[in-house]
Structure 1
Amino acid sequence: MLANILIGLVALLHLYFLVLEMFLWNTPLGRRTFGLEPEFAAASRTLAANQGLYNGFLAAGLIWGLFLGAAGLPVKVFFLGCVIVAGVFGAFTASRKILFVQALPALVALLALYWS
């Protein structure tokens, strides 16, 4: 149960990232969240929306795994792995903060999944 709660939280985080990147990127909240200048936010809006879509797919995969119940174990492991890899890559290429905001929660959920 704890693992599924953590997986649900990771999915919710990625839905939040989707909203921030697809719809709020060029707003005061989006710019403040990502530390963006208005000009850069406007110029990179399309790229951010694309990134938000990918975060939505990660959330969808995690939610799918939850809906499958016990049969969803491989789906949960796969999508948590994807989130971890994306978080590590983001930490190396964009901001170290991504490691803690994205990869760490997914790693904790994956560990909880194996301990349950």
Structure 2
Amino acid sequence: MQILTLFLVALVALEHIGIAALEMFAKPEQQAKAFDMPLDFVKNDHAKVALANQGIYNGALGLLILAMILFFTGTTLKIIMILLMLYVIIVAIYGAMTATRKIIFLQGLPALIALVFVLFFYR
């Protein structure tokens, strides 16, 4: 079950790297659809910069999660996984309240499932 737990946490990381790619490199039409934003807004230069900036953070979070899986073990890894999954859940709740409700399902739910696995199956 520990391998499955690490796999689920890694999927959360890969999801954030994918979100970063969307925020930084996708066409405005894809971004508008993915993030439930008006196309006019996404095409705005200020919005492009803000999305790219947000993409850097999501990409860094994804890479950090993957790195901690590779560099830590045991109790240290468990604590870091718990903290990072809680962080993702909190950010997803905030995003659901301020941007679009689907964030809670697309980002929060996978992190919640991974958190449950970390708490109950990672020793």
Give the TM-score normalised by structure 1.
0.89
Please tell me whether the aligned partners of residues 12 and 110 of structure 2 are also in contact (alpha carbons under 8 angstroms).
yes
1:51 pairs, out of 51, 54, 61, with 54
Structure 2 stretches lacking a partner, 5+ long? none
Q: Are residue 12 (structure 1) and residue 3 (structure 2) matched?
A: no
Q: Distance in 2 between matches of 1:59 and 1:108?
A: 17
| Most deviating of 92-101 and 34-43 | 34-43
1:21 pairs, out of 15, 20, 23, with 23
Shift of the alpha carbon at 1:42? 1.6
Aligned length: 115
Q: Distance in 1 between matches of 2:38 and 2:68?
A: 38
Q: Distance in 2 between matches of 1:81 and 1:25?
A: 31
User: Could you say which residue in structure 2 is the equivalent of 1:90?
Assistant: 95
User: Could you say which residue in structure 2 is the equivalent of 1:34?
Assistant: 35
RMSD: 1.5
Residues 92 and 38 of structure 1, relative CA distance in 2, 3 Å threshold: closer
SS in 2 for 1:95: coil
Stretches of 4+ aligned residues off by more than 6 angstroms: none
Give the TM-score normalised by structure 2.
0.85
| Most deviating of 61-70 and 34-43 | 34-43
Residues 85-110 of structure 1, C-alpha deviation per residue, up to 9 Å, x if partnerless?
A: 11000001111100000111101001
Residues 25 and 74 of structure 1, relative CA distance in 2, 3 Å threshold: farther
Same amino acid, percent of matched pairs: 33
Please tell me whether the aligned partners of residues 91 and 97 of structure 1 are also in contact (alpha carbons under 8 angstroms).
yes
1:110 pairs, out of 95, 115, 120, with 115
Structure 1 stretches lacking a partner, 5+ long? none
What letter is aligned with 1:69?
T
Q: Distance in 1 between matches of 2:91 and 2:27?
A: 19
